[in-house]
Amino acid sequence: MTDPLAGVRVLDLTNVLAGPYCCYQLALMGAEVIKVERPGSGDLARVLGADPERNKQGMGISFLAQNAGKKSVTLDMKSHKGKVLLERLVESADVLVENFRPGVMARLGLDYAALKEVNPRLIYCAISGFGQDGPRKDDPAYDQIVQGMSGVMSITGGPETAPYRVGYPLADTIGGMTAAFSIAAALNARPRGTFLDIAMTEAVISTMGWVVSNYMIGGVLPAAHGNENTTSAPSGTFITADKPINIAANRDSQWEDLARHLGRADLLAHADYRTREDRKRNRHALRATLEDTLRQRPAADWVRELNELGVPAGMVLSVPDALNDAQLQGRGLISQVPFGSETLALSGSPAMIDGMRPQPSGPPPALGVDNQEIWQSLGLSADEIAELQKDGVI
């Protein structure tokens, strides 16, 4: 059951992150994912990452992170022979994913209108920054551009620091996960065959539910509030004797338990803090008052005691600390994947299925490593493959 997409063939024509992340999620669920890459260079992520030596080898860390378990073939889709080969691949595929700018595949004669004639059951997923139509459809869109255009940066940080970029490629990742979810849904349709238009900007905005609804329905202009929860107080990040912690006393009962545990039951009757709205209006003064007590003891003590009381609290961890946390370690999110003479630590699926976590089925592929297998499976002879390589088609 950890391979619910077993038997599904996905053609991954994507680059860098949103598309590769989408197809990685499908691969983790058991789909056969074939990366179709440009001869000689391949996915741009092959030369991106913190390790220059890996970049030189075309196996940059940015590529390794979301391409394990895939196969790789090379193909020049601009050439006539390359287009014919892609069509032959499409005949055998269930899904095609691309993240070119809108119109690129049409100019190649390989858009959905053309390919559905080859395979009417094809699920064609196009991922772009702004969608396949509209006034911005031709604008290039990397993650930071989308973060800015979606409004995310305007509400990230505090009043004195915003606009601030979220510290990882949020838009690429959300766009990729939205595409993977949409593909999985389309695979369930009968009869199969559809065109999916995934705009990263729209995917991000759809996740900003409360922020967007507060503005559209409540007329509240979204603003940057730093680490404060705008819907409740005290709810945010607090200083302790050694490390910051998050406390979310969102219910009145949690606020009361927190105040009493800190020896500040007097605050419960204070005119500034009697109701939720009172506490929200005076959140900064309340935080400072509570921190007078919180600063007297270490973070770990407060987190343990507050959670025992039913007041949600948690450490603010670094990425290494989060990865080494006993909770994460115990559930096996990170898998160890053999890769030549080394072992790569890579993320498995974020979903558990019947108590088991889908993991990468193999290492990330070298560029074109599966050319012989895939092209031969379509009926090409060894001589034909050699000629295509000589001509730069594959």
The DSSP letter of residue 121 is T
Strands 235-239, 194-199: pairing is unpaired
Q: Which long-range contacts (CB under 8 A, 24 or more apart) does 357-360 make?
A: 357/2, 357/331, 357/332, 357/333, 358/2, 358/3, 358/28, 358/29, 358/30, 359/28, 359/335, 360/27, 360/28, 360/68, 360/69, 360/335
User: Does the active-site annotation cover 172?
Assistant: yes
Q: How far apart are CA 14 and CA 344, in angstroms?
A: 23
Backbone angles phi, psi at 194, to 5 degrees: -165, 165
Residue of 172, 301, 321, 370 marked catalytic = 172
Per-residue b or e along 56-89, where b marks 16 or more CB atoms closer than 10 Å to that residue's CB:
eebbbebbbbbbbbbbbbbbbbebebbbebbbeb
DSSP 157-198: S-TTT-S---SS-HHHHHHHHHHHHHHHHHHTSSS--EEEEE
In this structure, are residues 43 and 57 in contact, taking their beta carbons and an 8 Å threshold?
no
Q: H/E element holding 35?
A: strand 32-37
| Cα(64)–Cα(62) distance, integer angstroms | 6
End-to-end CA gap in the chain: 36
Which whole-number Å values give the CA distances from 49 to 16, 54, 58, 204, 267, in the listed order? 11, 8, 11, 24, 51
What does the block give as tokens for 359?
Answer: 């993991």
Which DSSP category does 269 fall into? G
Residues identified as active-site? 172
